[in-house]
Amino acid sequence: MKNSLLLKFDSVSKSYPVYSSILRRVMSRKLVLEKITFELEEGKVLGVLGASGSGKTTIAKLITKIEEEYSGRIILNNINIKNMTHKELAKNVSMVFQNPYSSLNPKHKIRFVLEERINQYAKLYNNKIDNYEIKEHILELLNYMKLPAEILSCYPHQLSGGQKQRIAILCAIILKPKLLILDEPLSSLDISLQAQILNYLIDIKQKYNLTYIFITHDQDLAEYFCDNIIKINKGVICENN
Ligand SMILES: Nc1ncnc2c1ncn2[C@@H]1O[C@H](COP(=O)(O)OP(=O)(O)O)[C@@H](O)[C@H]1O
Ligand SMILES: [Mg+2]
């Protein structure tokens, strides 16, 4: 049985303005994505493979509406994302950023970070969640990621790189997205940790019925983990298989 289509890029091009250094006037535009077209079925892992600067993160920023100016169409669940509010989009798409160090506020304990995220989820769906439910939910998630409960009273700087990245992944899946975008989630970790986190990602994909976009510059990793790969070079898809 063919899975249903979750995401479609239809000839998407994106350019950034180039400013003159003196007058801060737009001098020209730099094309960073050119006519990007691909499809992603529900439940699959799509690899976005390319060297640094090829436009991978820009693709993620377009899907999450961090960048809203582009040409072409991005269709999510049969709806053009231009016609979706940020709130609707947040119910469907969540992202783990490249750097786990910058994605956690150093001033907040991990307990606070996770509680905030659960409250954000409740707000999205206008739900009321009581404190007991929040506690239970957090413990379940920690358990799933093989993180000890003591971690809740730690600050981000007290965590290892792998622990921080797992918390960042938890923050992303608390919103129960359909699509999880992982922007080079392993590149700041050493090899043994990479394998471990990859296994967690495989587990939680199963458990939460997720679809992944896995951004990487590592061909072997992409081939191991992804069902389909688009390879981009300077903003152009050069392979799609
Ligand atoms: N806000 C921006 N303004 C101008 N140029 C940008 C901006 N963000 C990214 N770029 C440029 O767009 C190109 C693609 O960047 P990016 O999508 O981050 O690549 P990747 O994630 O593959 O390393 C790069 O040349 C980068 O310098
Ligand atoms: Mg990037």
The per-residue DSSP string of 64-120 comes to TTSS---EEEEEETTEEGGGS-HHHHHHHEEEE-S-TTTSS-TTS-HHHHHHHHHHH
Type of residue at 1? M
Q: Is the CB of 32 under 6 A from ligand 1?
A: yes
Q: Give the separation between CA 186 and CA 195, rounded to whole angstroms.
A: 9
What percent of the chain is predicted at pLDDT more than 70? Answer: 98
What are the backbone angles phi and psi of residue 210, rounded to the nearest 5°? -95, 160
Q: Give the separation between CA 230 and CA 39, rounded to whole angstroms.
A: 10
Ligand 1 atom with minimal separation from the 54 CA:
22
- Cβ pair 44, 209 in contact under 8 A: no
Question: In this structure, which residue's CA is closest to atom 7 in ligand 1?
Answer: 16
CA of 56 to the centre of ligand 1 (A): 8
Which of the residue ranges 173-177, 181-185, 236-240 would you say has the lowest mean pLDDT? Answer: 173-177
- The domain spans of the chain are 5-104+176-240
Overall fold of domain 5-104+176-240 = Rossmann fold (3.40.50)
CA of 164 to the centre of ligand 2 (A): 19
Question: In this structure, which residue's CA is closest to atom 12 in ligand 1?
Answer: 32
Question: In this structure, which residue's CA is closest to atom 16 in ligand 1?
Answer: 55
Q: Between these two residues, 124 and 235, which has the higher pLDDT value?
A: 235
Type of residue at 39? E
Q: What is the pTM of this model?
A: 0.92
The DSSP output letter for 227 is S
Which of the residue ranges 89-93, 142-146, 152-156, 231-235 would you say has the lowest mean pLDDT? Answer: 142-146
